[in-house]
Amino acid sequence: MARKKERGNGSGTVYPRKNKQGKIIGYRGSYFAPDGKRRYVSAKRKGDAEKALRQAMTDADRGFVFDGGTLSLEDYLTRWLRDSVKDTVRRSTFVQYASVVNRHLIPALGRLKLKAITPAHARSLYREKLDSGLAPRTVQYIHVTLHKALKQAVMDGLIPRNIADAVKAPQAHKKEVKPMTSSEVAKLLSAACGDRLEALYITAIHTGLRRSELLGLKWTDVDLDGRTLSVQRSLDKYGMFNPPKRSKSYRTVKLTPQAAEALKGHRVRQNEERLQLGSLWEDQVLIFPNRRGKPMNADVLYHRGFKPLLEKAGLSGFTFHSLRHTCATLLLSKNVNSKIVSEMLGHATIAQTMDTYSHVMPGMSDVAATALEEALS
């Protein structure tokens, strides 16, 4: 029987690399990994190549095979978006990742080899973005995206470590919550009287729903006689319906009499709109659609609806999200149990609710002190 040929070269050999003139320009080491594939390492000096080869073979014996090869960061990120991100997250989340990759990471680092990326590259990118005027929160998102992508590369055995672990993202200062006062709410709703979306603003203030949740509401989600509203979906700014933000965002909210009456009046006016448009109305059973019955664009709502309404009311410095903050702070300032408020808002935890809103109610500590004094006296 013929003797089985041994692998010899490739099982752990370093050899010189020469140019056309026969001059040695570097050294290359080759070995066979446990999967049977030939792998390579290279260096300018023989000793460095031997060291790299020993490390690579040790890693291979431990089950770690790094195969970044000549793959560029641009090619890897493009593949990561397509194979690892797409269809595994919400469409809006995918669009955000793709935007960061294509607007920031690829232009700055795309030409580098995946295996050649260092912490210094990331650190320099963050500094450059901050110096150009980009908000720290945006740079944080660049860091999160890079970290997530390289984490997958590590798990795939393409690189030995995630260099983003060694880089600190810039600290973003949390924006202070700015709710409306009761008098400001009155001004807003007075200005909204008779507005096509008057019921939307009333419902927002009386329930604390997110804008995406309000725009995703359907008439099948409300019981106006029982005065309840159920959050079952949200509408992103790309016109796609998604499940609520998190599991606790699925919730049923009790409507105030004012909100219920506003929605009843809104339904009557919407039926009139439907009759006037006839076949042009594209009914999707939405409570707050656009003027043709289709999902309303969030930016259109803000710029053509809410912003002009603020100006009419003589108010400034508020966003649509301020209505949610207003609902929460008014409830908490009236000593409504924080657990009830948290559930109403669809927060993940009570801690999130208190962390977000307690600092806007300086009187809460006085209330607590008084209550303790009464309990112990």
Digit-coded pLDDT (tens) for 125-144: 999 999 999 999 999 999 99
* 74-130 confidence digits (pLDDT tens): 999 999 999 899 888 888 889 899 999 999 999 999 999 998 999 999 999 999 999
pTM above 0.75, yes or no: no
**Confidence class for position 370, pLDDT limits 50, 70, 90:** low
Of 80-89, 207-216, 353-362, highest mean pLDDT: 207-216
pLDDT at 4: 39
Which of 184 and 62 is assigned the larger pLDDT? 184
Tell me what the pLDDT averaged over the chain comes to.
87
- Whether the per-residue pLDDT at 155 is higher than 60: the answer is yes
pLDDT at 160: 85
pLDDT at 53: 85
* 32-56 confidence digits (pLDDT tens): 877 777 777 778 888 888 888 887 7
Q: 161-186 as b/e, with b when 16 or more CB fall inside 10 Å?
A: ebbbeebebbeeeeeebebbeeebbe
Question: Which residue bears the tokens 């290279």?
Answer: 42
- Whether the per-residue pLDDT at 5 is higher than 70: the answer is no
* 266-322 confidence digits (pLDDT tens): 999 999 999 999 999 999 999 999 999 999 999 999 999 999 999 999 999 999 999
pLDDT at 52: 80
pLDDT at 3: 42
* 70-85 confidence digits (pLDDT tens): 788 999 999 999 989 9
pLDDT at 364: 58
- Whether the per-residue pLDDT at 66 is higher than 60: the answer is no
pLDDT at 1: 44
- Whether the per-residue pLDDT at 361 is higher than 60: the answer is no
Cα(293)–Cα(145) distance, integer angstroms: 36
- Whether the per-residue pLDDT at 246 is higher than 60: the answer is yes
- Percentage with pLDDT > 90 across the chain: 55
Radius of gyration of the chain (CA): 30
Question: Which amino acid is it at 22?
Answer: G
* 221-244 confidence digits (pLDDT tens): 999 999 999 999 999 888 889 888
* 156-182 confidence digits (pLDDT tens): 878 888 999 999 988 877 777 789 999
- Whether the per-residue pLDDT at 9 is higher than 80: the answer is no
Asked if 249 and 231 count as a contact pair (C-beta separation under 8 A), the reply is yes
User: How far is CA 216 from its chain centroid?
Assistant: 19
Which of 287 and 9 is assigned the larger pLDDT? 287
